[in-house]
């Protein structure tokens, strides 16, 4: 029986604009440093993805996230000033980065 070629599935990564709060950015840099100290090739994106993976895995534990963690997230997402500031920066960056049509017709 002839050998079948193994199919590789390559996921295309999607580029998104992400605006990090300065405190979060500091923790991403700390994570990046720890990953590098442990011999990993750790870009800023790898550090962010590692942190997100940790959060996802922790949330899947039977006991879920701690009360302290849930309270911190709640406080963050309910901080209107911070949320509006980050959203505003994200909107501005998306406008600058995303391709726009060369001509636009308004009727």
Give the end-to-end CA distance of the chain in Å, rounded to a whole number: 64
Residue 67 lies in a domain: yes
Q: Are 93 and 17 in contact (CB under 8 A)?
A: yes
Q: Is the pTM of this model over 0.85?
A: no
Q: Are 26 and 33 in contact (CB under 8 A)?
A: no
pLDDT at 1: 47
pLDDT in tens, 18-77: 899 999 999 999 999 999 999 999 999 999 999 999 999 999 999 999 999 999 999 999
Model confidence at 2: pLDDT above 90: no
Residue 103 lies in a domain: no
pLDDT at 85: 96
What is the count of structural domains for the chain? Answer: 1
Residue 32 lies in a domain: yes
Mean pLDDT value of segment 83-100: 87
* DSSP H or E segment with residue 12: none
Which residue would you say has higher pLDDT here, 3 or 30? 30
Per the structure, the complete domain to which residue 41 belongs is given by 22-97
């Amino acid at each position: 029986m002839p050998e079948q070629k193994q199919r590789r599935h390559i996921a295309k990564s999607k580029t998104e604009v992400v605006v990090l709060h300065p405190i979060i950015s500091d923790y991403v840099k700390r994570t990046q440093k720890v990953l590098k100290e442990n011999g990993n090739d750790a870009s800023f994106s790898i550090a962010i993805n590692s942190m997100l993976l940790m959060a996802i895995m922790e949330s899947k534990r039977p006991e879920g996230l701690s009360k302290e963690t849930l309270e911190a997230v709640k406080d963050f997402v309910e901080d209107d000033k911070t949320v509006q500031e980050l959203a505003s920066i994200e909107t501005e960056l998306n406008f600058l980065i995303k391709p726009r049509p060369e001509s636009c017709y308004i009727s």
